[in-house]
Every structure is written in C-alpha cells, then in structure tokens.
A and B are shown apart, each in its own frame.
Chain A
Amino acid sequence: MLKKEELISSLQEALRTEEAAIPLYTKFVGSTLFLSGFSEENISRIERILHELNKDSCQHAAKFERLISQIENGDKDAY
C-alpha cells in the first residue's frame, strides 16, 4: 500500500527522470546523425523512431501530470 504523498512523489520522480530526460536525449542523438556516416535512408529511419519516442514521452508526461492532479484532488489516501 502506498500513501498519497508517496505515490505522488514517485510519479513526480518519473516526470523528472524519464519523461523530462527522454525528449532531451532524443534531441541530442538527432543532432549527431549527420556525423554518423549512416546512409540517408537509415538517418531518416532513426529520426522517425526518435520522433515517435519523443512523442510517446510527451504523452506519458501529460498522463503523469493528469494522474498527479487527480490523486492530489482525490479523497483516497492509500493505493
């Protein structure tokens, strides 16, 4: 069982780590592709994958934020 504060803290930690960091890392990786020596086709493929990863992370972050808000405003104190 998790108390409300503990759950919120875990969700906020997830926001600070994975969901905030992944968009940064995908941007970094994307900026190095022109130095990779990969073919244009592979570069495009990697860029598409990174874009999807970035999009997913942004969606996860939005979901986490909604969840945190829901839990904060809810009456339940044990999860």
Chain B
Amino acid sequence: MNNKTETSKNMIRSLVAVLLIFIAVYFVLRALFITYAQYGRIEKVLGVLFFLSEAYVMFHAFGYFMGIYRLNKKGLAEPETTVLKEYPHVSILIPARHEPKEILESTVTSCYNLDYPAKAIYILDDSSEQEYKDQARAIAKKFNCKLFRREERHGAKAGVINDCLKNIDSKYIAIFDVDQNPISGFLTKTVSMLESDSKLAFIQTPQYYSNLHTSRVARAANMQQAAFYETVCEAKSASDAMMCCGTNVVLRKEALDDVGGLDESTVTEDFATSLQFHLKGWKSLYYNHIGTFGQGPENLGVYLSQQNRWANGNVAVLKKVILKLLKNPLALRPVQWWEYFITGSYYLIGWAFLFLMFCPIAYIFFDIPSFFMHPAVYAMAFVPYFILSLTIFYISMKGRNYNTKDIFKGQMLFLISLPTYLAGSLAGLLGFKKGFKITAKKCSQHIPYRALWPQLFIWGLNLSAITWGVNRFVYDRSPAVLFNMAWILYHFVLLSSVFYFNEEILEKSKIRSSR
C-alpha cells in the first residue's frame, strides 16, 4: 500500500472518529434540552418524535460511517482463490416472466459466452402469455440451453428457482436476473473463490447499470446502488455478514439444500435466505468487482415499485431477525446481528424523515416548536455534524471516481422515494406480502403526476411553508424561523427533483410530436 493511500485512509478514519464524537455530543445536548424543556404536552410529544426521528437517521448514519471506519482501518483483503484444475459444474439460472425478447436474448448470449467449460444454462420461464413463451422457447433452442417451466406458480422468483433446483445436481448455482449480463470471466473467478473455502454459501458481486446515459432515473439509482455496493457491502463482507442480493451471485448447492432452498415467505427472498445461511453457520463473501452489467429502472414508476418491494421485504425480514435474536442471541455474532438489523430497518427511515420534514413546517405554520434547543447551540452542535457527514460521504464516493453531481442526484432520488418507503415498510410490518412486480424494460415512459401525488403533496406543503415563512420572517426575524426555513428549503429543492426525473420523458414526447 503506497503512502498516499495510507495517508488518505488515516484521514478518513480521523474524520469518522471526529464525526462520531459530534454525534455523541449532539445527542447528549438534545436529550438534556428535551428533558428540561418547559413546553406544553403537544410540543413535548412532537419534540420526542422529532428527537427519535433524528436518532434513527443518525443510528443509520453511525452504521454507515462505522463501516467506512472499519474498511479504512484494516482494509478489505483480496478473497482467496484456487487455481482451478477441475471445473465443478455450474447451473446458471435466469428467471424470466414476460420479458422482452431482446433483453432475455442478451442475457442468454452473455451466459453462453462465459469462458467456463462446465456449465448449463436454464431459462426459468414463468410466462403465461403465449407470445413470451414462444420467444423463450426460440431463444433456448438457438443457444441450446434448457427451458424450465412449471405447472403451478407459487413463490414468484424464489418459487421457480426452488422448483428448478429439484432437478439440478450441480455443485454451484449462478443466478442472474433477466436484465443482468455477465462478462466472460465471471464464473472462473467466483468459482475459484468458492473452491477455496468449503464453508462459503455464496459469493455476491455488485450490480451496475449500463443504461446510465439513457435515463436520469437509472443514473441516479445507480448512484444509490454504488453507495450500497461500494462501501456498505464491503463492510458487511469484512464482518461475514454479506447478504445475497438475488442476482449476480453464485451459490453452493449444498448450502441451498441445507437451508431448504430460497425462502419464499418474503418478497426479498435473497435477504431472507442469507439469514438462514448465516444461522446455519455458513459464510458469505462479497467480491467488489463488476462482473455483470444490468439495466437500471428507466422511469420513476418502475423505480418506485422496486423500492416498494425492497422496503416491504426488508422490513418483513427484520421481524424474523428480531424474533431469532430474542430466541437465540448466540446464533450469530454481535456484528452480524448488527448488520442484519441495520439492513432490515433501513427502509423505516421513511417514517423518520416524515417527522423531520413535518416538524419544521408545523413550526412555520402553527408556531409549534419540536426542537428545544437554542439556535446558537444547534448551530454549534448539529451543523458541524451535518457538514462533516456529507463531506466524508462525498470524499469516500469521489475516491471511487463518482462525481459530485451524480452523488447529489442519488440523494435527490432518495428523498422522493420516502413516501414509497413508508408504504412498503408499513405493508411489511403488517405482513402484507406484496406481489413480485417485474421491473419493466420498456423505453422510458412518462408517469402521470397523479401517481406521484405523495411526493407532490409534500412538495406543495413545503412550498406553502416557504411562502408563509418568508412572510413570517419579515415580522419575526428570529434564528429559529431562519433554521426551520433552511430545512424546508433544503427538502423543497430535493423534492423538486420529481420533475427532473419525470420531465425527461415529456421532453422526448414533445420532440416526437413536433416532427
């Protein structure tokens, strides 16, 4: 490791350590102010909810930055590999349902061209419409690969994989979503890692969207994926807590048999099955090299339905994690429980942000305080944390060649996803298993704004609050009004991106209609 890299790692570790101190100081001060605040009941209830929301966001920030700290402390060792003298058989599964022909054919082409000699490709076609069935059959014939169909559908993707696995005897199973295309060396590398450690249940590799230049949504979604796959996954892998992500993954058949196949009880079967693996003592590994190129969601509708499914599934698995922890806390190591809890609870962050956005608006409109801290103390305690956390985040992502504009777009997309997180997580908490909705690969489509009413409602509320707040500031030039207005403006700017991500489609429509 050269000196420059070592200096950079030391700097990041120092910044994270300072940040963690800022978080601790801020919380102690907030707790003190809330405890001794002389406000009415409604204000106190709102204040506690606001504090808990902040605590929740900072809890997740703490988890993220601790991961960065651990990675910069000991680094991520290159996985052990074995030079393959023999090639264990790999069955490649491509689950598909009503997929456009060109998408399916690209994936089969990529799998066909994997430079691994002992493989069999299975198209798991769950289509019910004849046109798609015929296309899948034609592709299977063209590439001489196997076509698997079943009589009764159950369990969506997990179900079709489990049904297919009953007929498979391979040592390893590779799974690719229908829009994920592996490059030729994918299997040689991943299998060599699996061969070097017989306790490894799976090797997970990142997702990367290759349609970044054709869709604003895909580009911003890729940025969100990058934050997850670059830092979060590396940290999880270093703690042997990496979760399966359902695609671009190679699993050991023995491990799958040991846990009874993929878990069909939630819509995030990959995450749920990972828990089963770890509970049974299997290990997991994340190999942070892009070996597969995929298609990101091309419009807001597709993206938000994907996020809804993930929110639903992750929270459903969180319930399982908590139950298992209470029943047998020694089943996993503390850091593994921590990583599962962090991931399972992530989408509940929508609830936290609901209060974080609502409370400043309540102050501006109704003069209901929820933040019992002198503005000067707030400025000294919170602002450094906020600036430092953003700085570390941007430095760590820029260190991996992502640019500032794209990182910011990822943040914008996150904020407009919050209503979706709310809905999805609520469904997950209540046990409503949302049906698996396939991500469409059609050309970008304009989403009617009525479908985005939650985002527009919050945006409109923020706009009204800004208008009222400007009016109020003329007569009440207090720092409290200023700070609340700053937050409302920040949320408003980020929420306005709903037009940026949706209007791209309208521009294309105008060009077509003007010809």
Chain A interface residues toward B at CB < 8 A: 16-17, 20-21, 24-25, 27-28, 31-32, 34-37
Given A20, A28, A35, A36, which contacts B109 in the complex, CB threshold below 8 Å? A20
Q: Which of B142, B183, B208 contacts A16, CB < 8 Å?
A: B142
* B213 and A28 contacting across the interface, CB-CB below 8 Å: no
Determine how close the nearest CB of chain A comes to the CB of B395; give it in whole angstroms: 16
List, in ascending order, chain B residues with CB within 8 A of A37's CB.
401
Inter-chain contact B183/A27, CB cutoff 8 Å? no
* Beta-carbon contacts under 8 Å, B436-487 to A: none
Within 8 A of A (CB), among B82-116: 106, 109-110, 112-113
Smallest distance from the beta carbon of B248 to chain A beta carbons, Å?
A: 13
**B212 adjacent to A34 (CB under 8 Å):** yes
The reply to whether the CB of B181 lies closer than 8 angstroms to some CB of chain A is: yes
Instruction: Count B-side interface residues using an 8 Å CB cutoff.
Output: 22
- The CA of A32 and the CA of B208, in the complex, are separated in Å by 9
Do A17 and B113 contact each other (CB < 8 Å), given the known contacts A28-B183, A31-B211?
Answer: yes
A21 and B143 in contact (CB under 8 A), knowing A28-B183, A36-B401? no
- Distance, CA A35 to CA B219, complexed state (A): 12
Q: Does B293 contact A (CB under 8 A)?
A: yes
Chain A nearest Cβ from B387, distance in angstroms: 26
9 pairs of A and B residues whose beta carbons are closest in the complex: A31-B210, A28-B293, A21-B113, A20-B109, A35-B401, A37-B401, A28-B210, A17-B113, A31-B212
A70 and B80 alpha carbons, distance in the complex (Å): 51
Query: Nearest Cβ in chain A — how far from B119, in angstroms?
Result: 14
Contact (A21, B210) CB under 8 Å given A28-B293, A35-B402: no
Q: Is chain B's binding surface mostly helix, strand, loop or mixed?
A: loop
**Chain A residues with CB under 8 A of B21:** none
- Residues of A within 8 Å of B112, CB to CB, are 16-17, 21
A32–B184 Cα gap in the complex (Å)?
Answer: 17
Which residues of the partner chain A approach B184 to less than 8 Å between Cβ atoms?
21
For the complex formed, measure the closest distance between the CB of A37 and the CB atoms of chain B, giving whole angstroms: 5
Q: How far is the CA of A20 from the CA of B110 in the complex (A)?
A: 9
Q: B210 touching A27 by the CB < 8 A rule?
A: yes
Q: Which residues of A contact B32 (CB under 8 A)?
A: none
Q: Are B110 and A24 in contact, with the CB atoms below 8 A?
A: yes
- Please list the residues of chain B having a beta carbon within 8 angstroms of any beta carbon in chain A: 106, 109-110, 112-113, 142-143, 181, 183-184, 208-213, 290, 293, 400-403
Can you name 22 A-B pairs with beta carbons within 8 Å?
Answer: A16-B109, A16-B112, A16-B113, A16-B142, A16-B143, A17-B112, A21-B112, A21-B184, A27-B293, A28-B181, A28-B210, A28-B293, A31-B208, A31-B210, A31-B211, A31-B212, A31-B213, A34-B403, A35-B401, A35-B402, A36-B401, A37-B401
Cβ distance B178 to chain A, nearest Cβ, rounded Å: 14
CB distance from A18 to the nearest CB of B (A): 9
Report how far A1 CA is from B403 CA in the complex, Å. 57
A35–B230 alpha-carbon span in the complex (Å): 13
Q: Which residue of A lies closest to B226 (CB)?
A: A35
Chain A contacts of B142 at CB under 8 A? 16
| Whole-angstrom CA separation of A16 from B111 in the bound complex | 11
Contacts of B213 in A (CB 8 A): 31
| Cα(A25)–Cα(B110), bound, Å | 9
Q: Give chain A residues whose Cβ lies under 8 Å from the Cβ of B110.
A: 21, 24
B109 to chain A: which residues have CB within 8 Å? 16, 20-21, 24
Q: What is the CA–CA distance of A28 and B179 in the complex, to the nearest angstrom? A: 13
Question: What is the minimal beta-carbon distance from A48 to any residue of chain B, in angstroms?
Answer: 16
Q: Is the CB of A24 within 8 A of B106?
A: yes
The complex places the Cα of A24 from the Cα of B293 at a distance, in Å, of 9
**Contact partners of B209 in chain A: CB under 8 A:** 31
CB distance from B406 to the nearest CB of A (A): 8
Interface contacts beyond A21-B113, A32-B208, A37-B401: sample of 8 additional A-B pairs, CB < 8 Å, sorted by A = A16-B142, A17-B113, A24-B181, A27-B293, A28-B210, A31-B211, A32-B290, A35-B401
Docked complex Cα distance between A31 and B296 (Å): 12
Which A residues lie within 8 Å of B181 (CB)?
24, 28
- What is the distance, in angstroms, from A30's C-beta to the closest C-beta of chain B? 8
For the complex, what is the distance from the CA of A20 to the CA of B106, rounded to whole Å? Answer: 8
Q: Whose C-beta in chain A lies nearest to the C-beta of B110?
A: A24
Residues of A within 8 A of B183 (CB): 25, 28
